[in-house]
Structure 1
């Protein structure tokens, strides 16, 4: 449940390491997924590495039950293990090909509304699914292929998001939410492909955001406001972005990545390199964007490091991503307007 203790890393760097899933991966011939190249992003290699969404969710099981522990050095020189629980903040899944719709039924109960998927191969634009949230209020704007075509950085007609399979945004209070794995299990009841889709099946517009809320520290620390900091991390779910993410990791983090995934196993490898081990390969799914809430003082942002620049970069990446897709993200807006409260 705990992550590395690298003394050369800052608290923020250790947090990023500890919440980065490391997922079992497989390889497939590029010729088998030639459709990926139709989006104007040539892969440039014979094989493509991918992971299954189910394996990704498995990485969050222990974190959802006990929290992900990251070592934090306090200003007093004391070291504590701070634990965070992941909650699914938002997820948008677009497939390169239509996914078979789930059973055609509608359920209502406990404030949750679920509807089956609808698909149209003949449509000139993709249909948007209804919001799947714990509140009936609309907290997001559907992605439209026909909108924002003239705006810089937005999706053009030749780079359409794909076929929308699932769009979910959480808008309820953190105290009313359930941990990520439990929420995924709920969504999978009406969207079973959440357990079978692979990263190579998803378009570049597929992503998720995870809200990390602190639960406790060991040893317990009183009156340490900065340990109340909450984080919001953004992760791509598509193989189309893997090469770009590796380059981003090399430039932006420049450190080793480690993570506790699957029974508390720890893995350390250089950023940007594929992780290999007995029985198969591994892929890290690091955040490309970050937002914070209740961040105070210098515990998370070391003034003698690149933490401030790194955090600014990651926040800007998340903001740019949402604007590119013309999306309203409830948690991002809340974190932005209450970041230092």
Structure 2
């Protein structure tokens, strides 16, 4: 097992790097660029890059089978590799009305019911007002709830699919297996492109430790579980690659987490790096995740559990 002794990456850096999906980039045909939702993709661009959700899930295929290996340096200088298995914790996919319509036709024979607008979830005026405030619009000028929901749908898109895992970790299947099962009823989970998705589309991945190499003793610091939050829309695609350098046009697209939560964090293995700045970084990532969920009025079961929030 070889570690780069000259590397300045902290253990937290290594975890984030080793669990960040890097997806194959594709270019949108020029004749399709003009059809993009201008609220989500401002005009004037000659080239638009995107990735498919199917390619994104492929990044998790090997991790789902064998775990993602994260090199870790312990406080005593020992080095090891901790393996984490990814599980789909939550996902919401918002898309345009036309995309939802075509996908509904493919899946309407399933047992589940697809909600094609936010009005199903936000039926009372108070919730609508909150979303309008988040969206930047306002109903204080005398606009009706219907007008408000129109603004919400225009900005956020229409809810094509959502899933929130509630079973115990031992009752879950790895992310790739879960996606393969869900896509049987919702084929858009494989075929949709990042340019089809609104900026409100996101997912959370739960990472649970399974074993470390070399084995031999129990290390409490390595029982930590993580929740990583990722946006799915091209609106948030970064021009920075997974190594922190400027990404060149056409190179693979990294989707680093914008938010993070932890559970069973003991000791200081994850917060001792970067001269103590990792502690602040964890706090900042947690705050962003919490803010995101509140803005979307979402109750995320795993997040609440990680935070010690027990809801009856």
TM tier, shorter chain? 0.7 to 0.9
Give the aligned partner of residue 103 of structure 1. 107
Which of 270, 274, 283 does residue 300 from structure 1 map onto? Answer: 270
- Conservation of the 8 A alpha-carbon contact between 1:155 and 1:161: no
* 2:231 corresponds to 1:236: yes
SS for the counterpart of 2:48 is strand
Residues in 1 aligned to 2:224 and 2:47: alpha-carbon distance in whole angstroms: 41
SS for the counterpart of 1:91 is strand
- Conservation of the 8 A alpha-carbon contact between 1:3 and 1:69: no
- Higher-strand-fraction structure: 1
CA RMSD of aligned residues (A): 2.6
- Conservation of the 8 A alpha-carbon contact between 1:67 and 1:83: yes
Give the aligned partner of residue 84 of structure 1. 84
Q: How many residues were matched structurally?
A: 286
- Higher-helix-fraction structure: 2
* Unaligned residue ranges in structure 1 (runs of 5+): 108-114, 120-124, 129-141, 250-255, 258-268
- Conservation of the 8 A alpha-carbon contact between 2:95 and 2:198: yes
Q: How does 1:43-54 map to 2 (within 5 A)?
A: 45-54=45-54
Query: What does the per-residue CA deviation read over 1:14-48, in whole Å, with 9 as the maximum and x for residues that have no partner?
Result: 00000001111111256623454532652653211
Q: How does 1:9-158 map to 2 (within 5 A)?
A: 9-28=9-28, 32-39=32-39, 42=42, 45-96=45-96, 97-99=98-100, 100=102, 101=104, 102-107=106-111, 115-117=112-114, 119=116, 125-126=117-118, 128=120, 142=121, 146-149=128-131, 151=133, 153-154=134-135, 156=137, 157=151
- Conservation of the 8 A alpha-carbon contact between 1:71 and 1:82: yes
Query: What does the per-residue CA deviation read over 1:201-257, in whole Å, with 9 as the maximum and x for residues that have no partner?
Result: 111111100000000000015231110000000011100111xx44xx6xxxxxx72
- Conservation of the 8 A alpha-carbon contact between 2:131 and 2:296: no
Q: Using a 3 Å threshold, how does the CA distance of structure 1 residues 31 and 186 change in structure 2: closer, same or farther?
A: same
Residues in 2 aligned to 1:306 and 1:337: alpha-carbon distance in whole angstroms: 24
Larger radius of gyration between Structure 1 and Structure 2: 2
Q: How does 1:252-263 map to 2 (within 5 A)?
A: 257=242
User: How high is the TM-score relative to the length of structure 2?
Assistant: 0.83
Q: Using a 3 Å threshold, how does the CA distance of structure 1 residues 3 and 288 change in structure 2: closer, same or farther?
A: farther
User: How high is the TM-score relative to the length of structure 1?
Assistant: 0.76
Q: Using a 3 Å threshold, how does the CA distance of structure 1 residues 25 and 6 change in structure 2: closer, same or farther?
A: farther
- Conservation of the 8 A alpha-carbon contact between 1:93 and 1:167: yes
Q: Using a 3 Å threshold, how does the CA distance of structure 1 residues 162 and 322 change in structure 2: closer, same or farther?
A: same
* 2:247 corresponds to 1:273: yes
* Unaligned residue ranges in structure 2 (runs of 5+): 138-150
